[in-house]
Structure 1
Amino acid sequence: MKTQGQPLLGALTREFERVYLEVCARGYEVLERTRANHPATRDNPWQHQPAWPPSYEAYGRYRFLDTLRKAREHAASRVLEIAGGGGFTAACIYEDGREVVLNDMRPLHEELGAWTTGERLRWEGGNFFELQPERLGAFDLVVACEVIEHVAHGDQMLAHLRRFLRPGGVLLLTTPNGAYFRSKLPTHSQVKDFAALEAWQFRPDADGHLFLYTPGELERLCRQVGFSQVDVELSVTPFLSGHAGFRFLPSRSTLAPLYLSLDKWARRLGPTARERLCTQMLVTARAP
């Protein structure tokens, strides 16, 4: 598939760390999907300002790029992203010859104008539970970033999204790791009454998290609704996020490669340690 001359996005799957450090140095505008001086992004620090680990901003950049990396690994002709916020992820997933359908509950006309490929995204508004595959068609890839922790009935969400996938299509979702040692929310298996959470679902940001999933819980739930080949990747230790007081470590460009190396080292300590040390979870599940 032809790219649009985006060297960093094109290098993401081969040189992830290089791209990550570039984004830490200059913000998301380095990906060349942001229109210069657009009012929606002109003063947005994520787009234009540096942020080095350990910090929340460096964690957010890693999570975003890791999602793009995984999405770009799939040769998807049709992509659906649900609850896509301002549409920047979808704008970065778009390539020539690829159709990207973007869903969100809010009108996104102003935000889509901020992205160089935003006008080529097809926007579908409303609650994603109201979307129907009979109207939208089938997709090779469905993306759901930081959504399932805001939904009372995750099994219903997964079953609904599976309906949009062609045979062999992939669901890609990201969510905080409920097994992380700093997590204070209950996990899926600890919730006694999911119906009681319905009044609180779909609220944005971390305040809207109803509960979290451990890797094992989410893998089992994916398989229960009919997905196969479920893979869970864990990432982002305090060396990047700044959690557990690591934010007080010196944060500068010369130390960022060291923190990346320490993060990789911590994630090699074994599955139990990885579940406790990593705050972020990326799951891919294939439709049979």
Structure 2
Amino acid sequence: MATSTSRDHLLGMLTREFERVYLEVCARGFSALGRTSPDHPVVRDDAWQHHPAWPPSYEAYGRYRVLDTLRKARSLRPERVLEIATGGGFTAACLYEEGREVVANDLQPTRELFGAWTTGERLRWESGDFFALDPERLGTFDLVLACEVIEHVAHGDRMLAHLRRFLRPGGTLMLTTPNGAYFRSKLPTHSQVEDFTALESQQFKPDADGHLFLYTAEELERLCRAAGFTQVDVELSVTPFLSGHAGVRLLPSRPALGRVYLALDTWVRRLGPAARERLCTQMLITARVP
């Protein structure tokens, strides 16, 4: 593993050397990407930022999910980016580049956390419920990013229609969300919910406890097209060889085996669409406007 690589350059390597970057982040935490302010009190002792985590484990899964999102988003080369429900703003901070405007939104008052990131002071902050954001005021964007959000929203169709308003012609909406068809999933999927209005009082809660229901790839693609999106693509990723689900976490987890588990994960995903649908826990969806 090359430790002499300039840390910030790892972000630029994501699209062509994803495995290398992933293993670096497994070894050193997200601080390896060079966007973490090392002395900031919020992240000084944060395990996700500074501690190693190797597959198969939940921590290795989380690292993969973030990096895969950054890989796809950066490959689109957007000039203006809106991220809703940004949380601490780390993804937004990693997307910032000279000449690119990144607008970060969250329901919680997390703007002060942006000081934890080396590019945080260059993020534009928009607080509040993303449904209250107005494209007449914010303008339109090349990329709208919603990571792990739609499963917390009672009316996903309304969310998609609202976010579409922020996209320029040819712009892209990117969603990440758990795969409702995953064999370990215990929540109902969108088509199994009878009363979405009854879920309104439970929406917008954080973390996995706030998941109202999940989506299958087919359900989410159908909703995106109904909202006026075209070129809807769904990527399924993260098998138990990375996440540690189904007892795989009991296998040895150490640096020398990182590439082995990545290879096994890739092999499972190549078994075909039916296998991916049942064995992958994560979805990344891109949907474009005409």
**TM surpasses 0.5:** yes
| CA distance in 1: counterparts of 2:198 and 2:165, whole angstroms | 26
- Counterpart for residue 141 of structure 1: 143
| CA distance in 2: counterparts of 1:260 and 1:28, whole angstroms | 18
Deviations, residues 249-288 of structure 1 (Å, cap 9, x unaligned): 0000000100000000000011011100000000000011
Q: TM-score, normalization: structure 2?
A: 0.97
- Counterpart for residue 108 of structure 2: 106
Check if 1:10 corresponds to 2:21. no
Offset at residue 5 of structure 1 (A): 8.0
1:18-57 matches, within 5 Å, as: 18-57=20-59
Q: Contact 1:175 / 1:281 at 8 angstroms: preserved in 2? A: yes
| CA distance in 2: counterparts of 1:163 and 1:20, whole angstroms | 34
Percent identity between the two aligned chains: 77
Q: TM-score, normalization: structure 1?
A: 0.98
Q: Would the alpha carbon gap of residues 256 and 102 (structure 1) be closer, same or farther in structure 2, given more than 3 Å must change?
A: same
- Counterpart for residue 210 of structure 1: 212
1:59-138 matches, within 5 Å, as: 59-138=61-140
- Counterpart for residue 283 of structure 1: 285
| CA distance in 1: counterparts of 2:271 and 2:77, whole angstroms | 32
Residue type of the alignment partner of 2:90: F
SS at match of 2:116: coil
- Counterpart for residue 246 of structure 1: 248
Q: Which stretches of structure 1, 4 residues or longer, exceed 4 Å deviation after superposition?
A: none
Residue type of the alignment partner of 2:221: E
| CA distance in 1: counterparts of 2:110 and 2:245, whole angstroms | 33
Offset at residue 76 of structure 1 (A): 0.7
- Counterpart for residue 265 of structure 1: 267
Offset at residue 6 of structure 1 (A): 2.2
SS at match of 2:236: strand
SS at match of 1:212: coil
Residue type of the alignment partner of 2:132: E
State which drifts further: 5-14 or 86-95: 5-14
Q: What are the ranges of 5 or more consecutive residues in structure 2 without an aligned counterpart?
A: 1-5
Offset at residue 155 of structure 1 (A): 0.2
SS at match of 1:251: coil
Q: Contact 2:7 / 2:34 at 8 angstroms: preserved in 1? A: no
- Counterpart for residue 228 of structure 1: 230
Q: How many residues of Structure 1 are paired with residues of Structure 2 in the alignment?
A: 285
RMSD of aligned Cα (Å): 0.9
Q: What are the ranges of 5 or more consecutive residues in structure 1 without an aligned counterpart?
A: none
